[in-house]
Amino acid sequence: MRAINDMSVLVTGGGSGIGEGIAQRFAAKGARVTISGRREHKLIDAASNIGAQCLAVAGDVNNAHDRARMLDAAVLHGGGKLDVLVNNAGNMYRQAVDAYTEEHLQEAFNTNVISAMMLTSAAVSLLEETRGAIIFMGATHTRRAFPGATPYAATKAALEGLTKVMAAELGVRQIRVGCILPGAVITELNLRAGLFDESDVAQRYEAVAPLHALGRVGTVEEIAESVEHLARAEWITGVALEVDGGISLGVSQF
């Protein structure tokens, strides 16, 4: 497996939650990590907590100029190279089937899919030089049906599908591609999307815990561990890795 020490890693959506956890894990093992996101204060706090190995770059992955800045900063901070791109930025999108709006669906795909594809496209030549890895953040919404979440599920299904085709296309250039499918993990995602407030958080996660075969929700550290594995494993590509405590098994109490 490849050593993490001296890796150059770019993590989008790195100011909180899973993205911050990924950055923390890589930096602690000697990688030079660049985190990006729209909320500058969150990025600054995260980079400060992680230490000198981490650089914060505020920007929106939906913006072409910002994407270019993220890559330039990551290469400069990483010693002139890029080894790993973690496409973690995204948001939760829910809407009833009979209430779809084109604007909402377009925003969902722009934020969760197209921005990641465009950033990846711009990073290919850099990753070819290092025989690097591209990692997308999917969801177990492609394994279990959650009513009301079709916009989000569709975007995550798209990421999972393109992972395999991208891996096939980029294999000849020695670039590996993978997708992580997390189960329920306590982050700001649903709060940020306005789906429930802080007073509901504990109750919501307590309710979903029994859906997991292991009987609990996951941690950002456990997702970060799986991202590290895909970044380091030199003969794994095209995989959608379920890191979900068994929620995708559909365990029933019936």
pLDDT at 133: 98
Residues with Cβ within 8 Å of 219's Cβ and at least 6 positions away in sequence, in order, are: 21, 185, 186
What confidence score (pLDDT) does residue 190 get?
Answer: 59
pLDDT at 107: 96
> Among residues 93, 100, 152, 205, which one is catalytic?
152
CATH superfamily placement of domain 8-184+220-242? NAD(P)-binding Rossmann-like Domain (3.40.50.720)
Residue 205 known to be catalytic: no
Q: Within the chain, how many helices (H) and strands (E) appear? A: 9, 7
Beta strands across the sheet bearing 84-87: 54-58, 32-37, 8-12, 84-87, 133-137, 176-182, 239-243
For the record, the structure tokens of 72 come out as 């330039």
As a whole number of Å, the CA-based R_g of the chain is 17
Q: Report whether 223 contacts 182 (CB < 8 A).
A: yes
Lookup: tokens for 71: 């890559």
Packing angle, helices 150-170 and 115-130, rounded to 10? 30
Q: In the chain, what are the domain boundaries?
A: 8-184+220-242
* Residue 32 parent element (H or E): strand 32-37
Supply the pLDDT for residue 131: 98
Calculate the CA 98 to chain-centre distance.
29
pLDDT the model gives residue 250: 87
User: How many of the other CB atoms lie within 10 Å of CB of 102?
Assistant: 7
CA distances from 81 to 6, 8, 12, 189, 224 (A): 10, 6, 17, 31, 22
Would you write out the chain's pLDDT as a tens digit for each of its 254 residues? 999 999 999 999 999 999 999 999 999 999 999 999 999 999 999 999 999 999 999 999 999 999 999 999 999 999 999 999 999 999 999 999 999 999 999 999 999 999 999 999 999 999 999 999 999 999 999 998 889 999 999 999 999 999 999 999 999 999 999 999 999 998 876 565 555 666 677 788 888 899 999 999 999 999 999 999 999 999 999 999 999 999 999 887 66
Cα dihedral 107→113→119→121 (10° resolution): -130
Distance CA 139, CA 31 (A): 26
